[in-house]
Every structure is written in C-alpha cells, then in structure tokens.
A and B are shown apart, each in its own frame.
Chain A
C-alpha cells in the first residue's frame, strides 16, 4: 500500500516548522515519528497535501531538569524515555508506560509528543501525562503558550492545539521517590490497550500520602480517577485498602462498547486494573 502523493519539507528549527505549517494551510500535517500517521496514510484514510517532518529539529529532542519539573522534548522517542536516567529518577511512571507501547521497532521511532498530539484514546502516553499534571508547551505564529494536560485532550483524536500550532515540549512536575506502575490489558502482543491504568503513589511510613491515577480508553479522552485518588490518600498501603479505593475507578467514565469489550466489561476492568496498578506500584 502506497500513500497518496504529498509535498514534504523537513525544517531544522521550530520557527521554520511553525512558519511552514502556517503557510501550508489546513491540509498539511505534522509528522513526528510517524508510527500512527504512516499506517493511516498507507491505508489512505488521510491524504494531507504536505507533510512537515520534525525529525530534523534538534531543539525538539532531549530531556532536562528545570527546578521542580522535567522538560521533555516533543520528539523524544519511547525508547529514549525507557532508558533515560532523569525520567527513571523523577518520572518513573513515564518510563514504565513507554515500556508498554506497541513493540520495540515502534518504540524506536514513535515519540512522546507525537502520541500526545495524536490523542488516540487507546494510546498509552496520554493517561500518565494527565496523572502527572504535565503541561504542554505549544508554539504557533502568535508565540508560545502552555496548556495543562487536563485541558489538552478534548475528544477522540482531538486536542487543544489550534491550527498552526506545534507541541514543542512537555513539562512534567517531578515525582521523585514515588512508586509507579502502568497496568495494560490487551489480548495479543503489540496491541492497543482495551483498558489501562497509570498509577503513581507516594508512600510515607506505610501509608499512602499522595496518589495519582489515570485511565486509558475509558472514554474519548484519558480520564483522571480522582475519587480513587481521594480514597487512597491516608490509607495503609495494603491490598484490601487498595482494592476498596479501586472500586471507585469507573465513576464518571463513559467507556466505548466495541468488538474488544463492552462498556460494562471495561468498567470492571478499570476497577481490577486500578487495584493491580496501585498494588504493583507500592509492592503490596
């Protein structure tokens, strides 16, 4: 299968990329790692007039500390996130989630920024970004603005990015010393999540002091399980306490029904997987 013809440009700075996107108009598309976009183009589900490739923009790569946050370039690959020492120390949930994406070949090409901007409800990285209160730094012709993860994902494959804007980097508040786990449920190797749960907790003296939980594929966007978080805080980090809190996981969700699972089954999965994710994180 061969994509429909398109024009192609590979700018070397963010400014040039933003200008190219603005000049190319609405039919143009950004390509990051291309691991979601290229299959779509090959199947001719989309036919953009022009691709603007971010692969040759060095300033979109790399991970650095900035006070209480990590700043992760949008073109950082899943493979880099799996192996980066700063992410391992300050945002281990992201490394554990990157481990669960597709397969090794896809993780070598696919990017953090690409998967957030693509906003597939079954994609893995949006949920931990939401759980960790990440902030998306986006740039357009009018300058740079910051969008909290809670406002970034707006619908199926839809984000708060405006026409002409590019996701440049992601600021992730540090969760140094927290325990984390990403529990993914799928049927076969390299498949998308039917449901998955991203959990990060801070344990102090055997009790849960802080908790962050977000769900993958339980609606049109990733969902923060705030009632689980509230139920966990102050409780002993024991299996039964965690199971009680996880019983709230499906509250306020509107999961899809499709060939993989119906909505009721997804709600059941959300509760079970939340219990597993938090238990695995704290080692209970």
Chain B
C-alpha cells in the first residue's frame, strides 16, 4: 500500500506492507535509526516519536496509519547544528547512562512540556510514566526536564515542529 508521510520535515512516498510497524518503516526504510526498538511490547517508550505533534509509541502504530501525517523523530529536533533545548538539558544534566531510552525520553519530555510548560517533579514523573530507564537513571532525567522547562519557558510546543511546504521525496531517500 502506498503511503505519504512527512518525517522530520521531508515528505516521503513509499509502498509498504500493511503489517509494517511505523518504527520499522522509520528505521529500515528511511534510515532514522535514532528511534530505537526497546521492549517490543508497548511498555518501554524508547520508540516514542511525535505523530502530528503528539507523542506515540511507534512500535504500536502501523506505518499505513501514519499515511498523510507528520512525524518528528529524535533526528529532527536539532536546528542548524544546535541541539533542541531538551536535548541540551539532557546533556547538561547527565540525564543518561547507557542512552538507550534517551530518544524516547526526550520526545516524551517535549510532549509533556508542550502540555505543561512548568511541571513540578510529580508532573514530570507522571508525564514520563510510559518511558522506562533500565539503568534507573530517573533522578537526572527529572532534573533535565525541569531545567529544560526553565530554559524554554513554554516555547517548544508541537507547532515548533510543523514544517510548512515540505519538499516531496519518493522511494525512501531524502
């Protein structure tokens, strides 16, 4: 089945099998390997991306369900070589140990901050409920999200990810 999806600002048109998961389409067809597969059972949140501006677990969405939608992955956050403020805050606060959960943690943190620009510690922990860190490095992750909130003061909602007039690309290549 043919789908057209805008991923990190570039429009792709591809034929995919209906059973292909969005995460596999992103990684294997488009090469967006920054989005990782963790648990494969919808628990860990490592594969979190934004679909039309809202966080989803891309292992629990079919690529065909994303037809006509806009997807933002961890690879689409940096602008002109500068890290997104949430990426920067994770770096500054050492909010990672092995780093495997980090792409999903950052994507979910941005979603959380879009809904609640100034979350207290409890709100951060609840907002990241769907993301597991098997190194148990939660303390610094929570610090990083609150640091990012202070840096951004509510300025990085989903609209910051909308890319108008994205150029069309076919065949899974940029």
Q: How many residues of B contact A (CB 8 A)?
A: 32
- The total of Cβ contacts below 8 Å across the A-B interface reads 84
Contacts of B24 in A (CB 8 A): 2
Tell me if B173 is interfacial: C-beta within 8 Å of chain A: no
Contacts of A256 in B (CB 8 A): none
The answer to whether B54 touches A79, judged by C-beta atoms less than 8 angstroms apart, is yes
Stretch in contact with the other chain, from B40-48, B70-78, B86-94, B147-155: B40-48
The answer to whether A104 touches B55, judged by C-beta atoms less than 8 angstroms apart, is yes
Tell me if A258 is interfacial: C-beta within 8 Å of chain B: no
The answer to whether B112 touches A104, judged by C-beta atoms less than 8 angstroms apart, is yes
- Minimum C-beta distance from A22 to chain B (A): 20
Per the 8 Å Cβ criterion, residues 110-136 of B in contact with A are 111-112, 127, 129-131
The answer to whether B18 touches A103, judged by C-beta atoms less than 8 angstroms apart, is no
Bitwise, B38-82 to A at CB < 8 A (1) or not (0) is 001111010010010011110111101101000000000000000
> Which of these, B17, B56, B64, contacts A105 with CB under 8 Å?
B56
- Minimum C-beta distance from A61 to chain B (A): 13
Tell me if A38 is interfacial: C-beta within 8 Å of chain B: yes
List the interface of chain A (C-beta within 8 A of B).
1-8, 10, 31, 34-35, 38-39, 41-43, 51, 53, 55, 79, 102-106, 108-109, 189-190
24 contacts between A and B (CB under 8 A): A2-B19, A5-B17, A5-B19, A7-B18, A8-B62, A8-B64, A31-B62, A31-B65, A34-B61, A42-B21, A42-B41, A42-B59, A55-B65, A103-B45, A103-B130, A105-B45, A105-B48, A105-B55, A106-B42, A108-B55, A109-B56, A189-B130, A190-B43, A190-B129
